Amino acid sequence: FVILHLLTRLGAKVAYHDPFVSEAPHMRHFPEFEGLESVPLSEASLRAQDAVVLVTHHSRVDYELVGRHAALIVDTRGVFREPAANVVRA
């Protein structure tokens, strides 16, 4: 949630998807995210985002779906091996 916090401080509206964390837990350093719920991963939810930032590689995430429908992907985990117009590796 550190990355969500930093993006929020820069003015971003944030959401997250995590198949293992359905709701943000209580965190004393980030109380603003307590109760924030994981967004279902779908074509519609991906298209609604200006950017998707991959910070954890989960085997339960449909990365093909993400690659097809996200306008911009910032891939910090090397998930997308092939070059694509909408993928930036960081």
Written as tens digits, the pLDDT of the chain (90 aa) is 788 889 999 999 999 999 999 998 888 888 888 888 999 999 999 999 999 999 999 999 999 999 999 999 999 999 999 999 999 999
E strand or H helix at 2: helix 2-9
What whole-number distance in Å separates Cα of residue 33 and Cα of residue 85?
A: 32
Give CA–CA dist 58/51, Å, rounded.
Answer: 18
- Report d(CA 30, CA 26) in Å as an integer: 8
pLDDT score recorded for residue 81: 94
In the chain, the amino acid numbered 90 is A
* Beta bridge mates, 53: 74
